[in-house]
Structure 1
């Protein structure tokens, strides 16, 4: 899965209508260049590709700009990617990071269920980890320790996020103050 694809769909969805510079500017405010593995030059390519796939529509905006809006197919793809990013441990951390950046697009209950699915997969992976690497050099056997520690840390973090969500942390899509997924959604909730 591409974190860029998820982020672009999510940002366009969040604004309702956006051009490439606005998408980039939003991702910069999130610090995405540090965690999303986005190549800024490929952002416009991603927008055009998503439009070619009928996930976004493209329309002439202000002079020299193309404005994009998410389609019904794009909305379905956005939620498919978001759900996968949160529930399926991926080898690349940018996928989870993109899912977390867009977490408020989900209801609280769905976000918790997706994270519980992530926990189940991590627990199964933990149970299937080899306890040793017979015949391998000692430094290679260190991989088991790394994998075990990483999985245990991931499980702890996931449970802590579930606990924060259960305690009412974050404004989620089904909360009264939610504004995610409509124009202006990047603004803080109305007070």
Structure 2
């Protein structure tokens, strides 16, 4: 899965209709170039591919600008990608980062449910890494990899528990709640730097 694809769909969905420069400017101002390896070229490539795949509609706006609008198919793809980014722990952090950037697109109950799945997967991963380390019979230094994986899973589980606590406590306006930036077309009222 591509973090850029998720982020582009999320920004277009958030604004309701947006042009490539606005999308790119927002993502770059969020630092997505650092945490999701988003580049200007990858944004425009994603826009073209998402349009070709029927996830976005393009609208020519004189003089020479193209605006994009999410389709029902694109909204479903956004939801699928976002849910996968939050529920599945991956080695690379870019997908989780993209999911967190778009977290308010979900209802509070959905976000909590997905993060509970993530927590369970991380606990399973931590136990598996511990078992691998304890049963390791190869070169001793290679066992450090299993220790690293156990430590990473434990840290991810601790962080996920904290986010779950914050969400359960009412942190962040989520989709359907007053002031949420997660509803389609709601970003028009936001002042994004």
TM, length-normalised to structure 2: 0.92
Deviation at 1:55, TM superposition (A): 0.1
When structure 1 is superposed on structure 2, of 109-118 and 32-41 the one drifting more is 32-41
CA distance in structure 2 between the partners assigned to 1:63 and 1:174 by the alignment: 36
Residue 176 (1) aligns with residue 178 (2): yes
CA contact (8 A) 2:104 2:174 kept: yes
Decide which of 123, 148, 151 is 2:150's aligned counterpart: 148
CA distance in structure 2 between the partners assigned to 1:57 and 1:185 by the alignment: 18
Which ranges of structure 2 fall in alignment gaps of 5 or more residues? Answer: none
Aligned alpha-carbon RMSD (Å): 1.6
Q: Measured at CA, do residues 150 and 187 of structure 1 come closer, stay the same or move farther in structure 2, by a change above 3 Å?
A: farther
Deviation at 1:125, TM superposition (A): 1.7
Give 1:88-127 correspondences, 5 Å limit.
88-127=88-127
In the other structure, the counterpart of 2:48 is 48
CA contact (8 A) 1:6 1:82 kept: yes
Q: Measured at CA, do residues 78 and 162 of structure 1 come closer, stay the same or move farther in structure 2, by a change above 3 Å?
A: same
In the other structure, the counterpart of 1:6 is 6
Which ranges of structure 1 fall in alignment gaps of 5 or more residues? Answer: none
Matched residues, number: 189
Deviation at 1:180, TM superposition (A): 2.4
Aligned residue for 2:133, secondary structure, equals coil
Deviation at 1:133, TM superposition (A): 5.9
Q: Which structure has more helix as a fraction of its residues?
A: 2
Q: Measured at CA, do residues 179 and 148 of structure 1 come closer, stay the same or move farther in structure 2, by a change above 3 Å?
A: closer
Residue 25 (1) aligns with residue 25 (2): yes
Q: Deviations over 1:2-61 (max 9, x none)?
A: 000000000000011111101001101211111011122121111010000000001102
In the other structure, the counterpart of 2:63 is 63
